[in-house]
Homo-oligomer: A and B are copies of this chain.
Amino acid sequence: MSQSLTIDPVRRQQVATALRAALPERCVLSDPEDTRPYECDGLAAYRQLPMVVTLPDTEQQVLAILNICRDLKVPIVPRGAGTGLSGGALPLHDGVVISTARLNKIVRVDQYARTAVVQPGVRNLAISEAAAPHGLYYAPDPSSQIACTIGGNVAENSGGVHCLKYGLTVHNVLRVRVATIDGEIIELGGEALDAPGLDLLAVFIGSEGMLGIVTEVTVKLVPKPQSARVIMASFDDVVTGGNAVASVIAAGIIPAGLEMMDRTSSRMVEPFVKAGYDIDAAAILLCEADGTQLEVDEEIERMTAVLQAAGASAIQVSQTEAERMKFWSGRKNAFPAAGRISPDYYCMDGTIPRKKLAQVLTGIELMEAEYGLRCANVFHAGDGNLHPLILFDANQPGEFDRAEAFGAAILALCVEVGGTITGEHGVGKEKINSMCVQFTRPELDMFFAVKRSFDVPFLLNPDKAIPTLNRCAEFGKMRVSGGVLPFADLPRF
């Protein structure tokens, strides 16, 4: 948890005055009463009141804010809907927040090119709603899709339940317009398959607000599948369940969704959603097929055979659309359900090679005893993207610290088996120390060099996503001397 820092009122006055000279009154907030709603994002354990919040209406206003901040050397934190889970939009006490809330227009939907051009503050689900009359939708579907914005999705390279088949944000965005810290507009990517020059679109997507402010996004739309059905398979132990995931993929099937819940999770959600989950099973897999009726029937048949051969103890297939939604309801409500059974929970986001699923799930089980905390596992199994929910009570002394250490240990295990410390939630403020575990010193140097090539004055969301070498050195010392965090190896950096 970070300490909240005090804002210098003289500096705030100076910056707010400069901004108000360039923007309409309603676009600049500096009174703490007004800026309070911006003090955290979805990682509410970290809070900091921002110095000033701006809400530009136009790209020209975004450029004006960037020019003023550059001239006054004020750091900038961009913010979408604030649903991020890694503190990427955590404000700075001496910084300006640029909220994209008012940049919320759908510029156009092109049903023939199957693209939509939208401003960054448009909500993820609103794009699909605008495309629906043409039988199209925008595929990436993070759990927060009702609220989260496409600008935030670009910043975090968001995924969702269907990204195994349909890809992450980076696979579904064709072009972004970006306002740079130099006050220029650049366009990255394009509607054609591949662009010459360096692929800066891919660098930009997932860059967590460190490289520029998105002012417009062109996304791919895909046709709505004619039909979809889901299999719910039970397993007597998590190892068999984990291996079944690898078997489905090894059989050459790319399900539209392939999700896993352990017993802690299904027992957590079943009383809440009554989805008919097998609460005696050690693990449940949800495997969805979508496409034409014929394709779906054939894929369901093949997946059923693979799951049976992999040792499923029971298998149910949705027969109606209502039943399909019921099967999914537990998965989709796992996070709220965690809130019902535990005062607090901490959602992790490690990603591992699929074949290591069983090993990591077993490792997490052992850690539950070690840290004296329960962990519910509910995750994108097909992608190897884990979302362990560590359950704790912040009012019990020491539990928050134990939860943080447990989380860091899970991430270290992910790296150890060849995975990464984040799948789709980003590094933000939360996982910046874990980056020292994941990357070597020359790799971190390269990240900084690339950031600097977009942001020479180093003002865009500084101190997030990439740790300084000092920070890694500190963290390394702590790990080696304190021995609190059980990392298997010496620091890589």
Given known contacts A250-B112, A353-B113, A440-B186, is B449 in contact with A194 (CB within 8 Å)? no
Stretch at the interface among A203-211, A228-236, A367-375: A203-211
Closest to A223 in B: B252
When chains A and B are docked, how far (Å) is the Cα of A428 from the Cα of B379?
44
A424 on the B face (CB < 8 A): yes
Question: For window 44-100 of chain A, which residues contact chain B by CB distance below 8 Å?
Answer: none
With contact pairs A252-B223, A426-B196 given, residues A420 and B113 touching in the complex (Cβ less than 8 Å) = no
Binds B, one of A10-18, A258-266, A319-327, A431-439: A431-439
* B-chain residues with CB within 8 Å of residue A196 when the two chains form the complex: 420-422, 426-427, 431, 435, 438, 465
Which of B223, B414, B422 is the one whose CB lies under 8 Å from A194?
A: B422
Contact digits for A327-364, partner B, Cβ 8 Å, 1 yes 0 no = 00000000000000000000000011111000000000
Interface size for A (C-beta < 8 A) is 81
CA distance A483 to B308 in the complex (A): 70
Q: Contact: B168 with A193, CB < 8 Å? A: yes
Q: Are A194's CB and B453's CB within 8 A?
A: no
Q: B352 near A192 (CB under 8 angstroms)?
A: yes
Say whether A474 faces chain B, with CB atoms less than 8 Å apart: no
Q: Which of A33-41, A122-130, A290-298 contacts B (4 or more CB under 8 A)?
A: A290-298
A443–B186 touching, CB < 8 Å: yes
Rounded to whole Å, the gap between the CB of A115 and the closest CB of chain B is: 9
Please name all residues of chain B whose beta carbon is closer than 8 Å to the beta carbon of A205 when the two chains form the complex: 199
- 0/1 string, A176-198, CB within 8 A of B gives 1: 00001010111110111111111
**Cα distance, A404 to B418, chains bound together (Å):** 48
Identify A192's interface contact among B190, B206, B423, CB under 8 A: B423
Chain A residues engaging chain B, CB cutoff 8 angstroms: 111-114, 157, 159, 163, 168, 170-171, 180, 182, 184-188, 190-200, 202-203, 205-207, 210, 222-223, 246, 249-252, 292, 294-295, 298, 302, 351-355, 383-385, 414, 418-424, 426-427, 431, 435, 438-440, 442-443, 446-447, 449-454, 465-466
